[in-house]
Amino acid sequence: MSHPTAEPAPTDNPIARIALFPGLSPKSLARVASIATAQRYPIGTVLFRAGDVGDRLYLITEGRVRISREVPGMGEEALTILGAGDYFGEMAVIDPAPRSADAHVHEACSVLEIRKDEMEHLLLVHRDLAYEVLWNVVRTLTARLRDTTDKVTFLAVTGKFS
């Protein structure tokens, strides 16, 4: 006998499971959810390429996304593979520079997309939300910089980087 799948409780907001939004109130999470658009992408989809205009932030709810760069003479170099709960494209919200890497769907995924202009407006209008979100972005960028420093150090020690 099969049982119907329970509907998620109104407070079961998928935004709450994203690393960018820990500790936000249900009201703040609902504000973020109100500007997010759900999308599903098959494996191999290119979400953006280095040099593209950064016009949105991505929140992964299911599946995996590979962030990479094309290295002349070597091909694609994977920088990281992100999964459910991770986010990427956040630099587009705080920096007008073009995308710095490629994003490929590594495993069929579901994401929530937030347009840059809508996120900027939300952060401008709700300063308490802006404070929390931007501190979380700073923490993420710090961790990624630390990881990059470790990789560069490894390459220098092994003689693969001069």
Question: 0.85 exceeded by the pTM?
Answer: no
What integer best gives the mean pLDDT of the chain?
88
Contacts of 45 (CB under 8 A, 6+ apart): 104, 105
3-state helix/strand/coil string of 30-90: HHHHHCEEEEEECCCCEEECCCCCCCEEEEEEEEEEEEEEEECCCEEEEEEEECCCCEECC
CATH number assigned to the domain with residue range 16-156, chosen from the 4 options 3.40.50.1980, 3.10.580.10, 2.60.120.10, 3.40.50.970: 2.60.120.10
Give Cα separations from 58 to 1, 24, 32, 150 (angstroms).
Answer: 39, 18, 12, 26
The conformation of residue 17, written as its DSSP 8-state character, comes to G
Q: What is the pLDDT of residue 97?
A: 93
Residue 87 has pLDDT above 70, yes or no: yes
Residue 8 has pLDDT above 60, yes or no: no
